[in-house]
Amino acid sequence: MKKNMKKILIISTVGLIYDGITSVITSYLEAMDKSGLDIYVVSTIKSEAKIEEKLNCMGCKVVYMPSRKENTIKYFLSLIAFIRKNNIDVVHAHGNSGTLAVEMVAAWLGGSKKRIAHSHNTKCNQVKADKILRPIFNMFYTDGLACGEDAGKWLFGNKKFEVLTNGRDIDVYRFNVNKRNCIRSLYNIDKEIVIGHVGGFFEQKNHKFLTAIYKEIRKIEPTCKLFMIGDGPLKNEIETECKGLNVIFTGAIDNVADYLNAMDGMLLPSLFEGLPLVAIEWQINGLPCIFSDAITKECILTNNVESYSLDCSPKIWAQHIIEMCKSNNREKASNTSYAKLIDSKYNLNKNVGRLKQIYIG
């Protein structure tokens, strides 16, 4: 290996799973010119085989570590040992709370000079741990990155940080009528309105409210179908809630972009978010969307999005998404979004070079 190669260790604090953080990591690595970089990606907590395979095909090395969640101390010590043994130059850890102190301190003890903390949300579930570890976290990270302004302010406060948007490959998510017909045919869908949601089955995503909205939609459009794409601990509970309601649970899939073409409208009633990738993807595809007002307005990039309070009744959400679906010219909406986003910071190919600069600078 050449001596001038920069050694990079990338960590997702939630594991290599089908979620927003992993999608950001893989998307950037796939688009990046990796010459001059020797990249390792940590596998901890849970790791999907297809994601590991994808990383390996990119030329990245997957490093297996003890569970960050179940054996934090062993994980911490393993990180230190690996960073020290392999002379890692840059540690880039993705998360949403002061618990990133675990990675930042391990990187410092391992001798890594550049310790990047990357914020992906505006709240966290580990409230007590976050409060305890924030002072330590603030001492040990060297560079702050965030998916959006709100996510940055949440984790870094008044300290300096840089927004590196969750860019997407614009061409991949552009509306494709042939893919629409293919997916709808696969599920025997003809002219029925199809509503969609993409996200892990966690409390944050608010699937119970989504289900309540869909029940109201069915009163207006009895033949309507709902796709719930994703996996997670609350999936079984939501499946039980949705029995007999024409809800299609796809599980975690690696061709979400294809499925979006089959939808007519999307709902994102999350309790909180950073800057959700799905919000960008849906708009590129020309889909009418309703987001909860708990989601940052930074991700509203087109006229095809409305924002509603979670205090509004599910009936209001239902009425408006159906109206939006019926009045939408899909191909025109997608073309308009494409033209608007092709030269924006949300075009992955426009900003991937910046991350490499951060690594080698």
Tell me the percentage of the chain whose pLDDT exceeds 90.
88
pLDDT of 2 reads 55
Confidence of residue 275 (pLDDT cuts 50, 70, 90): confident
- Token digits of residue 237: 């509970």
**Of 258, 125, 282, 117, residue with least CA distance to 199:** 282
Mean of pLDDT over the chain: 95
Average pLDDT of the residues in 48-57: 95
Tell me the percentage of the chain whose pLDDT exceeds 70.
99
Confidence of residue 3 (pLDDT cuts 50, 70, 90): low
How many CA atoms are closer than 13 Å to the CA of 111, on its beta-carbon side?
Answer: 9
Tens of pLDDT, residue by residue over 147-205, are 999 999 999 999 999 999 888 889 999 999 999 999 999 999 999 999 999 999 999 99
Top pLDDT among 58 and 3 is at 58
pLDDT surpasses 90 at 76 = yes
Candidate from 21-35, 151-165, 299-313, 338-352 with smallest mean pLDDT: 338-352
Average pLDDT of the residues in 282-307: 94
Average pLDDT of the residues in 123-130: 90
Average pLDDT of the residues in 251-255: 92
For the entire predicted model, the pTM comes to 0.83
Distance CA 198, CA 228 (A): 6
pLDDT of 215 reads 98
Residue 116, beta-bridge partner list: 92, 143
Average pLDDT of the residues in 326-336: 96
Average pLDDT of the residues in 219-246: 96
Sign, CA dihedral 122-128-134-136, equals negative
Phi, psi of 193 (to 5 degrees): -75, 135
pLDDT of 124 reads 86
| Torsion angle of the four alpha carbons 99, 9, 15, 54, in this order, in degrees rounded to the nearest 10 | 160
